Chains A and B, each alone.
Chain A
Amino acid sequence: MASVGNDDGEQISLNIMPMLDIFSILILFLLMSFSTDPVSHDLNGSVELPESDTLNSLDEVPTVAITRKELIVNDKTIAPINAGELPKKYISQGAVYDVFKELEKLAEANKKFVKKENKKNASTLTIEIDKGHSFKLIKSIMVSAQQAEFVVFKMMVSKSRG
């Protein structure tokens, strides 16, 4: 019980126990939801991830983001997305040439790093995709990445807590 006195000698006491109870519960909840994931990533504002029961955590920041409005590679906007589709001028032979060019640069840098550090081949690409996009759009990005020698894809999902 916390108390305060005034000049007349009156004591006003404040019951702080309920506040302590709330604080304890809040801390317990926050500690339980505290993330232990190796990488913390802020989702793009116009991306809603689908829910999945996967146990694999995100271990690298995504290189490609397919948001509702645009296609982003390495934080660089490549093309706008209108009604879930890329404008036709960006697509040739089922792939997006600008995505291929960007990923090719990345693949080259990866190869140099692998050679220098004597590490395993890093042909893995992490992609952030909005849950409403069709496979047609996803396929065109994957085909572009495939041409740049990326063959393993880590598709980001929201872990369901069920």
Chain B
Amino acid sequence: MSKKRKSLDPVKDAMVELNVMPFIDIFSLLCTFLLFSAVFVSIGVMEVQVPFLSNAAPPKAEEKKKSTRNLEIKIEVSKKDVKLTSSFTEEPVNENTQAYGLDSSGLTEMHKQLVSLKLDHPDSDSVTLFIDDEVVYDEIVDVLDQIKLRYPSDSPNVSSQNNEGKDVFLYQKVIFGSVLL
């Protein structure tokens, strides 16, 4: 059996106190700097386009013949509801219109329909929006969110790239069709 020896070294037995004051000084300064520079409202942007007249030459007859049958998506937003119309640019047009509520559940349903359209037609990347005069900006942004953004719950196969090449959008291009002089 071994006996524990008592330390006779007075230096080892002395209480060591840590001077935390410089540490607190640095923390205080860091806190002040961060509080001054903090931005508590993060601002983002939603990009939309308006129709414009172009002076480019009209497509030639041969090019017109070559044009393929593309999907066109139109959304009409009123105070009452949101109507989603999908149709093709060439015969058979197969026009299909569905109405949804302007509340969160209605807009989620519309988003699901847009995801299924994107899955069926991955080349389509624009939506034309027609908005009634009484609809407020808050409601417009809710609709735009459901059109443009791809949520984690959506299929990974549906996406359009943003300007930085990241796959973040469902339908990147939204055109405000009712903005015309």
Contact = CB atoms under 8 A, between A and B. Distances in A.
Contacts of A55: 44, 149, 162, 168
A30 B31 contact: yes
Interface stretch (B1-9, B16-24, B65-73): B16-24
A133 B43 contact: no
Main secondary structure of the interface of B (DSSP, over half): mixed
A157 B46 contact: yes
B24 A129 contact: no
Given A52-B141, A142-B176, A154 B45 contact: yes
Given A20-B20, A54-B145, A142-B179, A43 B43 contact: yes
Contacts of B135: 134-135
Interface string A29-43: 011011101001101
A51 to B, nearest CB: 8
Given A20-B20, A23-B24, A142-B179, A132 B52 contact: no
Nearest to B49: A152
Given A146-B181, A147-B181, A56 B38 contact: no
Given A142-B179, A143-B179, A146-B179, A37 B43 contact: yes
Interface of A: 1-2, 16, 19-20, 23-24, 26-27, 30-31, 33-35, 37, 40-41, 43, 49-59, 93-95, 124, 126, 129-136, 138-139, 142-143, 146-147, 149, 151-159, 161
